[in-house]
Amino acid sequence: MKIGFIGLGIMGKPMSKNLLKAGHEVVVCNRSQASVEELKSCGASAAANGAEVAKVCDVIITMLPNSPQVREVVLGKGGVIETAKPGTTLIDMSSIDPTESKAIGAALAEKGVDMLDAPVSGGEPKAIDGTISVMVGGKRETFDKFYDMLMDMAGSVVYVGELGSGNVAKLANQMIVGINIAALSEALTFAKKAGTDPELVFQAIKGGLAGSTVMNAKAPMMLERNFKPGFRIELHMKDLNNALNAAHAINSPVPFTGQVMEMMQSLKTYGCEKEDHSSLVKYYEKIADTTVEPDVLQ
């Protein structure tokens, strides 16, 4: 299968490499030519813009930072829509506002082009080893057609519903993760302020109902003061902003999401936006005038 791949960033580059490893012919496009040259050395060919990609590919994947970039690459000057033939499929694997997914899909449909929204979860390590989770919205028959191809990049590919549903699922994931990190930060800060070792509190509760994947991943980072980014605060803010916009568009109140967004905005003013989202604990530490770092790490 000849696949167009637009966007060779932290996630897109290893994902496109996995398609090459699976035996697909891949045509890449990216603003940074260094990444294009790297992919060419792996066997890919290159195109200058979305229109050039669409001339030679019947399926095109986009992996871009946010809604405006997807709209520009797909519908803008030199975009996919200029040359895409009826029957072409666009698979947008970016994490964007689901209302934008629907709008872009509607514009493509007028040209006979189908679309799936298929955002991913898992971060760079899982993109490299091909075990990302993919949440897909669109026509079921289109999902079935490209399921095997998506699995060449992923460990899990799940159909969620109509177009936009993939990004709804991704935003729901980001809402839950952000709120969990905030709750964990609040609890560990409380423990330290109460004079109890937060490391021992973590060990005591992680096996109970409060335990979670988020707790197991983020509590050690908070306790060890390791805020090297696995997922940066600024990226989580982008997702929460999309969640707020999408929720407001359908009159769905999201008070916890709004509060976490403001906590992260506060951290951005302190220059923490490029740190891991576990750095959210710093918000609580500041207002409680303490630190969750245990006196003696266990």
- So which residues are the catalytic ones? 170
Distance CA 286, CA 186 (A): 11
Distance CA 53, CA 26 (A): 10
Q: How far apart are the first and last CA of the chain?
A: 52
Query: Whats the size of the chain, residue-wise?
Result: 298
Query: Which pair of tokens denotes residue 121?
Result: 């979860």
Question: Do 74 and 7 contact (CB within 8 A), yes or no?
Answer: no
Dump the DSSP string for 30-98. -S-HHHHHHHHHTT-EE-SSHHHHHHH-SEEEE--SSHHHHHHHHHSTT-GGGTPPTT-EEEE-S---H
Regarding beta strands 120-121 and 132-137, do their DSSP bridges make them parallel or antiparallel, or are they unpaired?
antiparallel
- Residue 195 has what DSSP assignment? T
Q: Give the count of beta carbons closer than 10 Å to the beta carbon of residue 253.
A: 9
Question: Do 61 and 40 contact (CB within 8 A), yes or no?
Answer: no
**Short-list 100, 102, 90, 157, CA closest to 130:** 157
Q: What is the CA radius of gyration of the chain?
A: 21
Q: Give the count of beta carbons closer than 10 Å to the beta carbon of residue 160.
A: 20
Partnered with residue 6 across adjacent β-strands are 29, 62
